[in-house]
Structure 1
Amino acid sequence: LYSLLENHNDIHTTTYRDYIASPEYADHVVSLPVLTAGSWVYGTFSTWIGDPEKNHAWDLLCAAKQSYDLVIQSDRLTDEEKAEACLQLASCESSDWFWWFGDYNQADTVVRFDQLYRDNLENLYRLLKLPVPATINEPISKGDEHAAEGGTMRRSS
């Protein structure tokens, strides 16, 4: 895909760094007066933290990351195994896993994301050749069976 875009006659690809540095685009570069931290949904971090279930999910990730750091520093893994563990850690740290935890999303959806998140953590421990903590087998969140049908946005009452 990238090669096709790069070689296309009507498309000019660039990077942010090159775009900002280019005299051709210098007049288009502006500074943001304010950059607000938080989710675009509420403008806070409540999308990812604060709820006991979200915080528990973070605790599980932090424990996995600490285990990852210890194993990587120990040189117990081959370079290939380290690379595979690194990719798996990225999967655990990516996405909006934590958004799904809490009581405002549909239960059937939350249960699936909960299991997928814990499966990713479990796989990381296996790649690190460590025992999987028992807490990984316990559901983090069950969602709300009465949450509004459809959509992915939390609605205000």
Structure 2
Amino acid sequence: MTVPSFVVSGDTDQVVEISTDGACLGNPGPGGWGAVLRYRGHEKRISGAVPDTTNNQMELTGAIEALAALTKPSTVVLYTDSSYVRNGITKWVAGWQRNGWRTADKKPVKNVELWQRLVDEESRHSVTWKWVKGHNGDHYNEIADELATSAAKSLRDG
């Protein structure tokens, strides 16, 4: 899957705002992710779908693909309604890495490949992670949710 890039100038005093979401029709089942990228008055909406996935995988993929779409290192504020993504990247991932991608109770980290991709994408940027309550009227979260849900439904319905 090729995700269109979102061209930024690399001007670090300008912030790229990103809202992401993931959706799954069944868990596991067909899933989708969506993101809205905003920079200097421009907006880009991206989305994708996977035939057999989980909601958490789609939440992670939304953040990964949004950061990957940025053409240059950027200052980013990324909004997610997933506590799993926000807590994972801001609180848990450093310990997982120290423990060889194992949890505190020595079990393998779930979705490790996606977490590793997210760490790689985040390392290219200066990211501030913000949690927003889902389905609570946040305009861009609602758009990201619609993108993710539509992508999953389109895949499911052919």
Normalising by structure 2, report the TM-score.
Answer: 0.25
The structure richer in strand per residue is 2
| Structure number, greater radius of gyration | 1
- Which structure ranks higher in relative contact order (CA pairs < 8 Å, sequence separation ≥ 6)? 2
Normalising by structure 1, report the TM-score.
Answer: 0.25
The structure richer in helix per residue is 1
